[in-house]
């Protein structure tokens, strides 16, 4: 006789869990092997389902990848947008907060591998590139720019070139991610990410804050 509880067939109980399990498996493998080299069969196996099942939930490999981005990265941008919209303090502190959140939710996380993957393979998958551009880069860029504009409007930042400064702020994140997922693992002398970010922020704020501010140089 079987246990009277939990008699529902497993697949039924799991109906809602499937997409999560598949996405979790997908993110792992995409991060490990990149987009082109990840085999859908492996994703399915890691999620404990068959290849066909994967196609019930995701139209194809690209849609699966988009879903991974949508669940792992886009929400972080949304949160950052909210931070910018709702923050009440000094813009320098807002900037610090946004960078710190990025580090916690992406940089230090497995998800950073997805960011690196896009920089690595976007060229070969134009549709993915476009999707990522629209959903992540443009929104992220806009968010950072709006943060700068807020600072300028409140006279907390100098009248810098917003577009260019936006790139400068993105750069260290991009670098950390590239480092972590390519050269980094081979190197002995680690690039200490938090110290690096701090240095970068100091440098950036040096260019952003009105002249009267004095910033102590950070230890790299």
204 contacts 169 by C-beta, under 8 angstroms: yes
Q: What is the distance between the alpha carbons of residues 79 and 58, in angstroms, rounded to a whole number? A: 26
Query: Dihedral angle at the C-alpha atoms of 91, 134, 160, 108, nearest 10 degrees?
Result: 50
137 sits near its own copies (criterion: CB under 8 A): yes
Task: Choose among DNA, its own copies, none what residue 13 binds, the Cβ cut-off being 5 to 8 Å by kind.
Answer: DNA
185 contacts 94 by C-beta, under 8 angstroms: no
Q: Per CB under 8 A, which region of 21-29, 64-72, 151-159, 202-210 contacts its own copies?
A: 202-210
List binders of its own copies among 72-101 (CB under 8 A). none
Looking up tokens 């950070």 gives: 218
220 sits near its own copies (criterion: CB under 8 A): yes
187 sits near its own copies (criterion: CB under 8 A): yes
Cβ 25 to DNA shortest distance, Å: 12
Cβ 32 to DNA shortest distance, Å: 13
Looking up tokens 């996380």 gives: 109
The SS3 assignment for 82 reads helix
Which one of 121, 149, 150, 158 is in contact with its own copies (CB under 8 A)?
121
Contacts of 90 (CB under 8 A, 6+ apart): 156
Q: Per CB under 8 A, which region of 40-48, 68-76, 116-124, 150-158 contacts its own copies?
A: 116-124
Task: Choose among DNA, its own copies, none what residue 85 binds, the Cβ cut-off being 5 to 8 Å by kind.
Answer: none
Q: What is the distance between the alpha carbons of residues 158 and 165, in angstroms, rounded to a whole number? A: 11
The 34-73 site mask, x for binding DNA (CB under 7 A), equals ---xxxxx--x----xxxxx-xxx-xxxx-----------
Q: What is the distance between the alpha carbons of residues 77 and 71, in angstroms, rounded to a whole number? A: 11
Residues lying near DNA in the complex (CB under 7 A) are found at 9-15, 18, 37-41, 44, 49-53, 55-57, 59-62
């Amino acid at each position: 006789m079987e246990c009277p509880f939990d008699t529902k067939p497993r697949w039924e109980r799991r109906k809602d869990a499937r997409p999560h399990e598949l996405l979790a498996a997908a993110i792992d493998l995409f991060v490990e092997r990149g987009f082109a080299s990840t085999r859908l069969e492996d994703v399915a196996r890691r999620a404990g389902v068959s290849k066909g099942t994967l196609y019930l939930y995701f139209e194809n490999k690209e849609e699966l990848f988009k879903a991974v981005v949508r669940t792992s990265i886009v929400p972080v941008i949304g949160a950052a947008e909210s931070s910018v919209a709702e923050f009440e303090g000094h813009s320098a502190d807002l900037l610090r907060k946004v960078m710190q959140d990025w580090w916690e939710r992406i940089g230090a996380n497995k998800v950073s591998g997805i960011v690196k993957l896009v920089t690595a393979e976007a060229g070969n998958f134009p549709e993915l590139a476009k999707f990522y551009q629209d959903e992540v880069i443009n929104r992220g860029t806009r968010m950072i720019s709006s943060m700068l504009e807020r600072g300028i409007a409140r006279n907390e930042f100098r009248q810098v070139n917003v577009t260019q400064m936006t790139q400068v702020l993105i750069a260290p994140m991009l670098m950390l991610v590239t480092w972590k997922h390519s050269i980094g693992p081979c190197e002995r002398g680690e690039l200490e990410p938090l110290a690096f970010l701090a240095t970068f922020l100091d440098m950036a704020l040096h260019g952003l804050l009105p002249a009267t501010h004095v910033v102590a140089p950070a230890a790299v």
